[in-house]
A and B are shown apart, each in its own frame.
Chain A
Amino acid sequence: MYAQMVQSTGKGVKSSEDMTPEERAFQARIDAGEKIEPKDWMPPAYRKNLIRQIGQHAHSEIVGQLPEGNWITRAPTLERKAILLAKVQDEAGHGLYLYCAAETLGVSRDDLTEMLLDGRMKYSSIFNYPTLNWSDIGAVGWLVDGAAIINQVPLQRTSFGPYARAMVRVCKEESFHARQGFDAIRKMADGTPAQKRMAQDSLNRLWFPALMMFGPPDKDSPHSAQSMAWKIKMNTNDELRQKFVDQTVPQIEFLGLDLPDSGIQWNEEHGHYDYTDPDWSEFFDVLKGNGPCNVDRLAARNKAWDDGKWVRDGLMAHAKKKAAAKVAAE
């Protein structure tokens, strides 16, 4: 979900007969539950697919700081401010764990950054929606990080060792994110009628974008089968989305808020909640760059990169000078 519509080979899963002996041995290792490590042989498409997926995941963590960073200076109390600051700092950390996992595949950090900045690589559609008020910050932690956990927990078992290890670290920290969000929205839901209305409004606006995080319906996910065979995707989009709905509906009821979708109904036969699909044309439009905040987000990342250049260059020049002086002194 932090990685949506990651392009795979586009050809479906290769059958065992069509594989080269190397590919067959590789698939056998994956089927046996072995981890693939950076120096191991891997099919070029596996490498390419993973760079796209981990890169997109990392970019999402980094861009994901923007909607929340927006509210750090306007948090309602010093305690909420400190918590939000720590949460946003964690997101930077998560981005860095993931970038270094991607780099073990032979792509450089600067290349990844530049591909984000010029739009060649994507980040999750959810971060192209605005955070209009404090209640949205609670809803983001609760819903967006809640969805992230559902996506990331199974990825701890993904076949690529560095990615799996990064996910273990991320998951350890992520439940703080969801809980602080739930705590913030709960305060609003239990507050004055006006505060409760704000909480309801945040839920209504962010519900469908949160469902979109899991990616298009399975029938429109041409890339999933190969990724699942390679165990770089562990569950289908619809499986994870259903899990999110099932988990979140009772929480909405606990908060005393109205369900954001009149189609939500317990289905006795399936043992799951039915729900209305999001408007997928909106999803594809946001991915194309036409969401409410796409332009702002990319502009903010580009500005940070450009404004930081003198710092990066200055520190590098200082390090080189110091190293040269040390050699001269020896």
Chain B
Amino acid sequence: MKNEWPLWEVFIRGQHGMSHRHVGSLHAPDAEMAIKNGRDVYTRRNEGLSIWVVESNHIAASSPSDKGPLYEPSESKVYRHPTFFDIPDEVGAM
């Protein structure tokens, strides 16, 4: 009978004030072991100061085929980028 340990996604926060970042996945029987395995698999060279693990089947993801409609609303709003505005040189840095 198959009795495979569940799959966990691992997120590591590094040294420089960045947010947790997905680094990969691993198998573990529970969260506690997933963190311990995460340490051994993904932080052998001081890559992290904090580990998050979440069971892979709890992650909801957007579908690649929705790419168009999902991001369309922001495409037309070029004024959200600061370069949209002309600031006269004499105003200086802004």
Contact = CB atoms under 8 A, between A and B. Distances in A.
Contacts of A120: none
A136 B76 CA distance: 63
A109 B41 contact: no
B24 A100 contact: yes
A173 B3 contact: no
Interface in A131-148: none
Chain A contact residues: helix, strand, loop or mixed: helix
B29 A318 contact: yes
A312 B3 contact: yes
A166 interface: yes
A93 B25 contact: no
B64 interface: yes
A109 B40 CA distance: 18
B25 A103 contact: yes
Contact of B41 (A39, A93, A108): A93
Interface residues on B, range: 20 to 34
Interface in A287-330: 312-313, 315-316, 318-319, 322-323
A274 interface: no
Given A89-B44, A90-B44, A109-B4, A316 B29 contact: yes
A316 B63 contact: no
Contact of A315 (B5, B7, B23): B5
A165 B10 CA distance: 14
Contact of B64 (A40, A90, A318): A40
A220 interface: no
A240 B1 CA distance: 43
A97 B4 CA distance: 17
B23 to A, nearest CB: 8
Contacts of A318: 29-30
A110 interface: yes
A100 B26 contact: yes
A39 B56 CA distance: 14
B25 A316 contact: no
A80 to B, nearest CB: 19
Contacts of B24: 96-97, 100, 165-166, 169
Contacts of A169: 23-24
B29 to A, nearest CB: 4
A37 B64 contact: yes
Contacts of B25: 100, 103
Given A40-B64, A109-B27, A316 B3 contact: yes
B3 A39 contact: no
A37 B62 CA distance: 12
A313 B3 contact: yes
B80 interface: no
Interface string B23-52: 111110110010000001100110000000
Interface in A142-185: 165-166, 169, 173
B44 A108 contact: no
B62 to A, nearest CB: 9
Nearest to A322: B30
Interface string B1-17: 01111010000000000
Interface of A: 37, 39-41, 86, 89-90, 93, 96-97, 100, 103, 108-110, 165-166, 169, 173, 312-313, 315-316, 318-319, 322-323
7 contacts: A40-B64, A86-B44, A89-B44, A96-B24, A312-B5, A315-B29, A316-B29
